[in-house]
Amino acid sequence: MTLKDAARAVRENAHVPYSRFKVGAALRTPSGAVHIGCNVENVAYPEGTCAEAGAIAAMVAAGDKQIEAIYVVADAPAPVPPCGGCRQKIAEFAAPGCTVTMATLDGEEAEMTVPQLLPGAFTADHMDRT
């Protein structure tokens, strides 16, 4: 299954009683493993958790630590970029050359590298004072 197909399929599982805005994400690791996530809202946290964060959590839970590519899809008039928090998470786990593809259900796609998506990302190097 392609990342596109996996993201579109998991998007249908989103729990979005407040926004009704379903998002699906699928990522691939260098080993070829695919991990998926969808957004989830609840009363205590109505803005919910993001699809990208869910896919990253699934990746880490499975023992993987690096994203080779990620695909995000939503029913929107234009491709929707990951939120700021997810951009940081993607940057922290991104393999060199990692691509981020954002898409609509109508098939419009936009692809970026992680540095294009989050220029000036905070890294562990910022904490190194030696």
Tokens for 35, please give them.
Answer: 């991990």
33 is in an annotated binding site: no
Q: Does the active-site annotation cover 52?
A: yes
Tokens for 64, please give them.
Answer: 């993987």
Catalytic one among 52, 68, 108, 109? 52
Question: In Å, how far from its chain's centre is CA 79?
Answer: 13
13 is in an annotated binding site: no
How far is residue 81's CA from residue 74's CA, in Å, rounded to a whole number?
10
Residue type, 43: V
Contact at 8 Å (CB) between 68 and 30? yes
86 is in an annotated binding site: yes
38 is in an annotated binding site: no
57 is in an annotated binding site: no
61 is in an annotated binding site: no
Known binding-site positions for substrate: 39-45
Known binding-site positions for Zn(2+): 50, 83, 86
Known binding-site positions: 39-45, 50, 83, 86
The catalytic residue positions are 52
